[in-house]
A and B are shown apart, each in its own frame.
Chain A
């Protein structure tokens, strides 16, 4: 099947490297069945249903592949190689929604008091202060900076409410990286990513991954905390109408707090990243 879309040449996560065993893993990418496995030498192989060997890259705890021909290497996360960070494979959450809606929700902070009540936000602290958004032309990435929000329990390592500062990065159409105030290490940022595997235009596997400065919390608790958050998000994502992300104005009404979402939609449209999107013409 041809995907008439610029997104075909991008890298996508198709599983955790740590969980790949000899039996391999059958999954799907943009409607095509793919199989992840290892050859006799232990090299990771990803093959399509018609036997094509797909490009492979192992990075940030995950195996990445593409149905097309990636024109550049997978985006860099320099913090991933920084000494002292705990790298957390959170696992997978399957969501019956557009992969683009999953990313847009990750970029949104205004829902914290209502969806992640008493964890990432709480009434009456609902105000979203002005922040900065730009599409960085050199890197070709969407960035939101100086994002601040009051949080009752910003991280597993946090005790009590704090105003947390965030930065968001969108380096690929279905991936986002969040930099967040790091309570035990002022001056550094915790890194929380959202890697989304598009199974279909309205179905995705979400693979969160983290690189944190936290030597106290058990791995189980770190994973449980993130899974709680993403399962709360799923209750929203599976109930948005339409399922596909509307890229043209008119279908949905943004406000000032949605500047990141507005820039993300504009960036998607400009690049023709429309797998999982809805255009007026359709």
Chain B
């Protein structure tokens, strides 16, 4: 599924929210994923379900270059293949045991997931840096209506707030929800960052109001 705003790439999380050796849940238009960063820094995106007993892998733990399920400790390498079944330490797991993986790219402080095997690269942010992420119970159209402007081809909605231009990278989720990543200039001052964060929250409230009233 292609997003109207960012092509086949979905910005799912900020690099800063995924430290080395951790796993977090993330949402995409095609279902939940477990996003994890190995000890050496590599980011991987797995379908959020262990093929053994269906447990969410985003509840698991990272050791070295593998993600382990919290239920029985089955471990998966970055390619998605199972490398260890603790109940049977002497067993080499069969090739058939693997988790579905998603193509992932990291750039400008954003982690992107491709809807399919994409040959293109995710869009660049041109000197902007991500500040924080928010989820809105509103679709892209409602966010655009609240901002009074359409999203750019790169998926950015910009609007004026006092003398500052606030920019938000938006991606649609299922159930008329959207993920918003607030962007600021790389050299923005702390007061400007705080103002951008508050302006984005205000815009989210307005977009959710528009969504509820069905105006957009």
Contact = CB atoms under 8 A, between A and B. Distances in A.
Interface of A: 108, 110-111, 113-115, 123, 126-128, 235-236, 239-242, 246, 251-257
B89 A253 contact: no
A110 B89 CA distance: 12
B71 A111 contact: yes
A253 B88 contact: no
Nearest to A110: B87
Given A115-B70, A126-B73, A240 B88 contact: no
B55 A256 contact: no
A252 B53 contact: yes
A240 B54 contact: yes
Contact of A114 (B48, B70, B85): B70
Nearest to B59: A239
A240 B59 CA distance: 11
Contact of A255 (B48, B71, B88): B88
B54 A241 contact: yes
A241 B59 CA distance: 13
Contacts of B54: 240-242, 246, 251-252
Contact of B88 (A111, A113, A252, A256): A256
Contacts of A240: 53-56
B49 interface: yes
Contacts of A241: 48-49, 54-56
A282 to B, nearest CB: 16
B72 interface: yes
A237 to B, nearest CB: 9
Contacts of A252: 51-54
Given A241-B49, A253-B52, A114 B72 contact: yes
A256 B52 CA distance: 12
Contact of B87 (A115, A128, A239, A242): A128
Contacts, number: 66
Interface residues of B, number: 22
A115 B71 CA distance: 6
A236 B59 CA distance: 9
A128 B88 contact: yes
Contacts of B71: 111, 114-115, 236
Contacts of A246: 54
A100 B86 CA distance: 24
14 contacts: A108-B72, A113-B73, A126-B86, A127-B88, A236-B55, A236-B71, A239-B56, A241-B54, A241-B55, A252-B53, A255-B85, A255-B91, A256-B88, A257-B87
Nearest to B58: A239
Interface in B67-106: 69-73, 85-89, 91, 96-97
Q: Which 9 A-B pairs have the closest CB atoms?
A: A126-B86, A257-B87, A110-B87, A128-B87, A240-B54, A239-B56, A241-B54, A114-B73, A110-B72
A19 B74 CA distance: 42
A242 B48 CA distance: 12
Contacts of A123: 73, 86
A111 B55 CA distance: 12
Contacts of B69: 114
A127 B87 contact: yes
A126 B52 contact: no
B32 to A, nearest CB: 8
A257 B88 contact: yes
A110 B71 CA distance: 8
Contacts of B52: 252-255
A59 to B, nearest CB: 32
A179 B70 CA distance: 26
Nearest to A261: B53
Contacts of B51: 252-253
Given A110-B72, A111-B71, A239 B55 contact: yes
A127 B85 CA distance: 9
Contacts of B85: 255
A113 B70 CA distance: 10
Interface string B19-39: 000000000000000000000
Q: Identify which of A128, A240, A253, A254 gathers the most chain B CB atoms within 10 Å of its CB.
A: A253
Contacts of B89: 126-127
A224 to B, nearest CB: 23
